[in-house]
A and B are shown apart, each in its own frame.
Chain A
Amino acid sequence: MGPSSAPRRLSGMQKQVLSLYRGFLRAARTKSAEDRQRIESIVSIEFRRNAKEVDRKNFLYIEYLLRRGKKQLDQLRSPDIVGLSATNVSFSQTKAPTH
């Protein structure tokens, strides 16, 4: 009996984000066990990172991320797709050729 940790009224956009997250987790359930773990970890890292970094009022960017996420979810749902993977690309300062 204490204050609930979840917010009381979710806005339409927050509901969409949560349903997208749920959709990803449900799609992950249909894949094999190790792929399911990888998908869940990638998706949850991405969602939590964006939740921290993106401003709540930046509707334009949130809608762009939602649209991109929906497309990726549609791809993931197809039975031909086996799993997700993510690579980290770091930009190193390369010197220009000196000739």
Chain B
Amino acid sequence: MVTGLIRRAIASAASSGSTAAASFRYVCVRAMASEAQAQQVDLKARDKTDIKTFSIYRWNPDNPKKPELKEYEIDLKECGPMVLDALIKIKNEMDPTLTFRRSCREGICGSCAMNIDGCNGLACLTKIAPSEAGASMITPLPHMFVIKDLVVDMTNFYNQYKSIEPWLKRKTPAAELDGKEIKQSKKDRSKLDGMYECILCACCSTSCPSYWWNPESYLGPAALLHANRWISDSRDEYTKERLDAVNDEFKLYRCHTILNCARACPKGLNPGKQIQHIKQLQLKP
């Protein structure tokens, strides 16, 4: 299409010939389309609309009826590419009562985690499926208590994260270090790769069927990933105590390597692999 425009531009420039102003010589050399042709292309794109239907889970605690899937129609030509753009557009233009969490819009905060077309993910990183694929269904994270619309109660998830004590614990007194930082080799630091990037979005834990059936007793892939992060940290001296704290039939061994977590993680991490690592460490005497 572009080459066609260039060919037409050269033809029109050549035909206007030597009588044209000096600017046309520039047009000949650079082969740009003329103003009229640019206007034509713009009109063609504006005529078509690409309507996509979103059916979004709605439940209002102030007016408690049964939860329902409400349908909204969005013109994809006037909307950004990600699901979060569509949600913001619906909230701005169509229904201001739609409630959802969001913050960074770039996939680093983990606030906008929700279930889009059956798969857990971040709304700001999930592209809207083309309208040919039918309506998109947006529901909150599965098996979590709903506070309103797409907002879920994350307190249990955060408490589980707190329970594994995600901070550095040392036995040697700090005076021995002369006020300098605790040293760690590059090799030991690379052991933490794949674990420190976790943003606690809860996509993995809420995709695990084992976590669905035992949310209070099983820690879930996210908390166990962080447990492994602190167990594998060479600077931490409470490794044995950390391993003993998790070594429980429910806390660790509810994991049956279903590996839904690795599929759901929007950052591409593999919590199942880290849980396997903890299980192997438990085997050592």
Q: Do A and B bind each other?
A: yes
17 pairs from A and B in contact (CB 8 Å cutoff): A54-B64, A58-B64, A60-B59, A60-B64, A60-B66, A60-B67, A61-B61, A61-B64, A63-B145, A64-B61, A64-B64, A64-B145, A64-B146, A64-B147, A67-B145, A67-B153, A71-B155
In the assembly, what is the distance between CA of A89 and CA of B66, in Å? 26
Across the interface, which residues of B come within 8 angstroms of A54, CB to CB?
64
Across the interface, which residues of B come within 8 angstroms of A58, CB to CB?
64
Number of chain B interface residues as a range: 10 to 19
Task: Say how far A78's CB is from chain B's closest CB, in angstroms.
Answer: 15
Q: Which 7 A-B pairs have the closest CB atoms?
A: A61-B64, A64-B61, A58-B64, A67-B145, A67-B153, A60-B64, A61-B61
| Interface SS of chain B | loop
Interface string of A77-96 (1 = CB under 8 A from B): 00000000000000000000
Interface string of B46-69 (1 = CB under 8 A from A): 000000000000010100101100
In the assembly, what is the distance between CA of A71 and CA of B147, in Å? 13
Task: Say how far B232's CB is from chain A's closest CB, in angstroms.
Answer: 34
Across the interface, which residues of B come within 8 angstroms of A61, CB to CB?
61, 64
Chain A, Cβ-Cβ closest to B146: A64
In the assembly, what is the distance between CA of A71 and CA of B156, in Å? 12
Task: Say how far B203's CB is from chain A's closest CB, in angstroms.
Answer: 22
Task: Say how far A15's CB is from chain B's closest CB, in angstroms.
Answer: 19
Residue in B64, B145, B146 whose Cβ sees the most chain A Cβ within 10 Å: B64
Across the interface, which residues of B come within 8 angstroms of A64, CB to CB?
61, 64, 145-147
Across the interface, which residues of A come within 8 angstroms of B145, CB to CB?
63-64, 67
Chain A, Cβ-Cβ closest to B153: A67
In the assembly, what is the distance between CA of A60 and CA of B146, in Å? 10
Task: Say how far B145's CB is from chain A's closest CB, in angstroms.
Answer: 6
Across the interface, which residues of A come within 8 angstroms of B66, CB to CB?
60
Chain B, Cβ-Cβ closest to A62: B64
In the assembly, what is the distance between CA of A61 and CA of B146, in Å? 10
Across the interface, which residues of B come within 8 angstroms of A63, CB to CB?
145
Chain B, Cβ-Cβ closest to A65: B61
In the assembly, what is the distance between CA of A22 and CA of B260, in Å? 42
Task: Say how far B220's CB is from chain A's closest CB, in angstroms.
Answer: 19
Task: Say how far A76's CB is from chain B's closest CB, in angstroms.
Answer: 16
Across the interface, which residues of A come within 8 angstroms of B64, CB to CB?
54, 58, 60-61, 64
Chain B, Cβ-Cβ closest to A71: B155
In the assembly, what is the distance between CA of A99 and CA of B61, in Å? 36
Chain B, Cβ-Cβ closest to A67: B145
Across the interface, which residues of B come within 8 angstroms of A60, CB to CB?
59, 64, 66-67
